[in-house]
Amino acid sequence: MTSAALLAGCSFGGSGPLGLGGALGRPPAPEDVIHVTPDDDSKAVRPDQRLLVRVPDGRLEKVTVVRSQDAQDFPVPGHIGEDGMTWRPDQDRLALAAKYTVDVVARDAGGRRSARHTTFTTLVPDERFIAYVTPENRATVGTGMIVSLTFSREITDRAAVERAVRVSARPAVETRPHWFGRNRLDFRPEQYWKPGTEVTVDLNLRDVQGAPGVYGLQDKSFSFTVGRSQVSVVDAEEHTMQVRRDGRLLATVPVTAGAPKHPTYNGKMVVMDMLEVTRMNSQTVGLGAEYDIPDVPHAMRLTDSGTFLHGNYWNPDAPGVVNVSHGCVGLRDVKGGSSDTPAGWFFDRSLIGDVIEVVNSKDKTVAPDNGLGGWNLSWQEWKAGSAVK
């Protein structure tokens, strides 16, 4: 065979019988057979833009999508439609700050196979928000614990954030959310938790837009266990506190509540923190220089505004007799604290999440957002605080 014949027979771009520009046609470019959205090498793709693979004719054979994020690769599950011409991911929203790699194999209407490889990267947000969760992960808490999320940024799309948080319990019980302002979201059941309940908080906040240009960072779970039931009722007029464990009266303890000029809040409060010893300074709660006690023993915080139940060694004759505090509830104690005193005895038998209810005080009911005071709202009032209608 001559060199001229060789050139004629093997010419790839010719118009003869074997030339693909002739009877068999020129092979189409992969991008003409396989359409991928977003476009190849797109940058700063927003999370609400849809990922779609399609062919105008023929069928998709295989679609593989990988998301690279935080130095890890994650397969992106999806499905080919019944007509074989489209592929969509199972989850609509794209992840932020990620690189997507798309590999596709398809056949056109003439049966010719094509493959396409594309990549794109998503928006890297300048601002993020996180949620600080109460109670702590794996804690054992009292039956009055309210799940409280405080966000690091103000949330304007509260419905989107609320939908991204799930609180579940075993055994199952209905829990509902309630917003306090723009940066706090609490969850509780209608009644106190039952002892032994296991509660899980799922934060699916990553890439959720909480405010314009501000996206969530967390994708994690927290859990806690509800311990025994302990509810204590402080009667400010009687100067007593009845401590009930699982409904049974455990003890009646003498107390001193707020003096007439500084009465204790009425209502249900929840133990938020427990400190063996702490300093209490009146200037931190806006009362001037009335007191500064560096070693208050057995202190249990009840409100954000500074209400505590604590040991009182400086007024040993007041508990059970007269109300002398600046709004706190005091139990008899000794300097340095002791387990043999009423304050020490109660502290040793308490959990974060226990309920302290004050009755017959001359003050108003504690605000539901002052500490974990949400139990002072009716169930209907509580449910009305949801952003999802």
| 383 in any annotated domain | no
DSSP conformation letters of 292-339: EEEEEEEEEE--TTS-EEEEESSSTT-TTT---BSSSEEEE--TT--T
pLDDT at 288: 65
| 110 in any annotated domain | yes
Across the range 173-189, mean pLDDT stands at 98
* Residue 243 and residue 234 in contact, taking contact as beta carbons nearer than 8 Å: no
- The CATH number of whichever domain residue 335 belongs to comes to 2.40.440.10
| 17 in any annotated domain | no
Beta strands in 171-266 (DSSP E): 175-179, 184-189, 198-204, 209-211, 214-216, 219-226, 230-235, 240-245, 248-256
Q: Are 76 and 164 within one domain?
A: no
- The CATH number of whichever domain residue 177 belongs to comes to 2.60.40.3710
Residue 30's pLDDT band, with cuts at 50, 70 and 90, is: confident
pLDDT at 285: 66
Residue 8's pLDDT band, with cuts at 50, 70 and 90, is: very low
- Tokens of residue 29, six digits: 């470019």
Across the range 139-147, mean pLDDT stands at 98
Across the range 61-89, mean pLDDT stands at 94
| 214 in any annotated domain | yes
Q: Are 303 and 285 within one domain?
A: yes
Min mean pLDDT across 21-30, 346-355, 362-371, 379-388 is at: 21-30
Structural domain total, the chain: 3
On the question of pLDDT at 102 being above 80, the answer is: yes
328 is catalytic: yes
pLDDT at 16: 35
Across the range 60-83, mean pLDDT stands at 94
Measured at the CA of 256, the angle between CA 252 and CA 261, to 5 degrees, comes to 145
Residue 293's pLDDT band, with cuts at 50, 70 and 90, is: confident
Specify which residues 133 forms β-bridges with. 149
Q: Which stretch of DSSP H or E encloses residue 207?
A: none
Q: Which of 178, 262, 326, 328 is catalytic?
A: 328
* Residue 110 and residue 28 in contact, taking contact as beta carbons nearer than 8 Å: no
Neighbour tally for 374: CB within 10 Å: 23
On the question of pLDDT at 337 being above 50, the answer is: yes
DSSP 246: T
Across the range 74-86, mean pLDDT stands at 96
Tens-place pLDDT, residues 225-283: 999 999 999 999 999 999 999 999 999 999 999 999 999 999 999 999 999 999 887 76
pLDDT at 289: 63
Identify whether 135 is preceded by a cis peptide bond (ω within 30 of 0): yes
Alpha-carbon distance 316 to 37, whole Å?
76
Residue type, 275: L
How high is the mean pLDDT of the chain?
A: 91
Alpha-carbon distance 106 to 34, whole Å?
7
298 is catalytic: no
pLDDT at 2: 39
| 197 in any annotated domain | yes
Alpha-carbon distance 240 to 242, whole Å?
7
pLDDT at 7: 35
Tens-place pLDDT, residues 302-326: 999 999 999 999 999 999 999 999 8
Name the percent of the chain in helix, strand, coil, to the closest 5.
10, 45, 50
- The CATH number of whichever domain residue 87 belongs to comes to 2.60.40.3780
Q: Considering the chain, what percentage of its residues have pLDDT values greater than 70?
A: 90
Neighbour tally for 159: CB within 10 Å: 13
On the question of pLDDT at 23 being above 50, the answer is: no
Residue type, 141: V
Structural domain range at position 244: 230-376
Q: Are 361 and 269 within one domain?
A: yes
On the question of pLDDT at 100 being above 50, the answer is: yes
pLDDT at 40: 96
Q: Which of 178, 239, 298, 310 is catalytic?
A: 310
Answer with the residue of higher pLDDT: 279 or 136: 136
